[in-house]
Amino acid sequence: MKKRISAVALSLILFLAIFSFIPFNTVYAASKITLADARELALNDAGLEEKDVTIAKAKTEYVVGVERYHIIFYYGTTQYSYEISKTGDIISSAIELESIHAEENPRESQDDTDPAAGKNITEDAALEIALKDASYTKDDLRYSKVTKNYVDGKGIYEVLFVVGRYQYNYDIEIQTGNIINYEVS
């Protein structure tokens, strides 16, 4: 009798486990959104339409094993960046005002020289180095930005530009003009 109750209980538990698992997976799978849906969510949140923006990045990323969408687009001189979960929740969003070309938004005069090393390259020269490496000219650009940064005590220009649907990121050493790193997405 005891074996019969155990077999019935085990069968009942197995039955409930199988049939309760199916609806959960069906609901979970139905709640996932596509990359196109994520792009639309980001544009709606920004109050913009796709015809008015330049999409620079729309891709699936994995952060600590969790799949999410990363969307970056430009409206005029403003960059919008969104991270959206697979369920359609906006994880983060950022808006940053940028200049389209360095010469259109003159910066305050900065001393880019290292007294010990002599004269260093300028931001414009760093942009030209990156464009030459990617086989483009300033006329091909949809957007560009050059930022001065220091990594391990070394002066680095972080050059970002957009041509067509592609975003290019270059790290160029200020003192020598050497390309340290680049990425295309």
- 18 vs 20: CA distance, rounded Å: 6
- % of the chain at pLDDT higher than 90: 29
How would you label 110-130 residue by residue, b for 16+ Cβ within 10 Å and e otherwise?
eebeeeeeeebbbbebbbbbb
Q: How many residues does the chain have?
A: 185
* CA proximity to 170, closest of 113, 123, 112: 123
Return the higher-pLDDT residue of 145 and 14. Answer: 145
Whether CATH 3.20.20.70 fits 35-97: no
Cβ-Cβ contacts under 8 Å for 21 (sequence gap 6 or more)? none
Return the higher-pLDDT residue of 66 and 177. Answer: 177
Domain ranges of the chain: 1-30, 35-97, 102-184
Are 35-97 and 102-184 equal in CATH topology?
A: yes
> What is 102-184's CATH topology?
Nuclear Transport Factor 2; Chain: A, (3.10.450)
Q: Is the pLDDT confidence value at 1 over 80?
A: no
pTM: 0.42
What average pLDDT score do residues 75-95 get?
86
What average pLDDT is seen over the chain? 77
Q: Is the pLDDT confidence value at 123 over 90?
A: yes
- 86 vs 94: CA distance, rounded Å: 19
- % of the chain at pLDDT higher than 70: 72
The radius of gyration computed from the CA coordinates of the chain, to the nearest angstrom, equals 25
| pLDDT per position as a tens digit, 37-75 | 999 999 999 899 888 888 888 888 887 878 889 898 888
pLDDT at residue 144 in the model: 92
